[in-house]
Amino acid sequence: MALIATMMSYFLTLSIFVLQINNQLVIYLYLILMVLILIPVVLLTIFSAFLFIWNGLIVWRRESHSLGNLLTLVIGILLIMMPVLFNLLNHYLPNNKIVTFIENVSYSCQNYLVFWVLAFLASYFLTKIVKPKYNKEYAIVLGSGLINGDTVSPLLGSRILVAAKFKAKQLAKSKKKMILIMSGGQGSDEKLPESVAMKAYAIKNGVPESDILVDDQSKNTYQNMLFSKQVIIDNGLDLQKGIFTTNDYHVFRAAGFARLVGLNIDGIGSKTSKYFLPNALIREYIAILVKHKKFHFCAVILIIIINSLIFIS
């Protein structure tokens, strides 16, 4: 949100500056630049419903047929159906105040969600750009589910390999060794703790066993950070000289949990398959909305109140 506010202030300042120059050529060039920036945004907005449906069908074909993997497909259908529904209602119930009120509330809530989507995407791209310094003492590798209860999945493996790659680069650049903390407990459908399987995977990929610590109790991202913090303290490492690794779409939310437990550390993310990225980002977005549900609930109530006052007047 802070990044979007900063960008908007820069845009406003630049616009005022261009108008104050009062040079027609500069103004025309500025308008052309704005049009070139807005064209892809407008096209993306217009075709977003169809892109969501297309992505949903790809995910459905390549991944498991779960409700979570239906997200982009459902959103795409809703984006198409909502305008159609209100057009039909306005056609058969012209000038109906109740229909107008519901339509205004629906589109206001949609615009509110779009604002937070932009804030979330800005944060996502920011985490891709900002790179940690090579002066760390540890890296927390966040766990994920095991395949068949005992095998590291490609998704989880990518998190481990990103940490191992950072460790190797740091050693080459600054000659400073670092510890990898494998964080993940044992799920009800797993034969061993995730962290134990992660440690074996890391050793297989060239990480010395002496450079690996384990948190085998955590069940979620919050516990990953909380229990790993205790491992860090127990081993005399500097709490603030670390990073965590996860998938790129998960870095922003995981960073929130890190700060919640007192770890002021950044994260690095492994790449996610392009076809699965929209679905993964939407899941993360929904998870962040749920995390701050009281704030968003109050915002929606405010939207309804404002539209009610307009409706009454």
Percent of the chain beyond pLDDT 70? 92
Q: Which range has the worst mean pLDDT, 225-229, 269-273, 306-310?
A: 269-273
Q: 38 or 194: whose pLDDT is higher?
A: 194
10 band by pLDDT with thresholds 50, 70 and 90: low
Q: How confident is the model over 83-132, as pLDDT tens digits?
A: 889 899 988 888 888 888 998 998 888 888 777 777 777 777 777 777 88
Residue 61: band (very low, low, confident or very high) from pLDDT cuts 50, 70, 90: confident
**Which pLDDT score is estimated for 65?**
65
Which residues contact residue 226 at a Cβ distance below 8 angstroms, ignoring those fewer than 6 apart?
A: 218, 261
207-219 pLDDT, tens per residue? Answer: 999 999 999 999 9
What per-residue confidence (pLDDT) applies to 153?
87
pLDDT for the residue numbered 130: 77
The listed range with the strongest mean pLDDT (150-154, 212-216, 288-292, 304-308) is 212-216
- Tell me what the pLDDT averaged over the chain comes to: 85
Residue scoring higher pLDDT (149 or 19): 149
At 6 the pLDDT is 56
Dump the DSSP string for 108-142: HHHHHHHHHHHHHHHHHHHHHH----S--SEEEEE
pLDDT band at residue 66 using 50, 70 and 90 as cut-offs: low
Q: Find where tokens 């932009």 sit.
A: 118
Q: Which residues of 179-211 are buried (b: 16+ CB within 10 A; e: fewer)?
A: bbbbbbbbeeebeebbbbbbbbbbeeeebeeeb
Residue 4 has pLDDT above 60, yes or no: no
Helix (H) or strand (E) holding 238: none
Instruction: Give 31's contacts (C-beta < 8 A, 6+ positions apart).
Output: none
Per-residue pLDDT band for 292 (boundaries 50, 70, 90) equals: confident
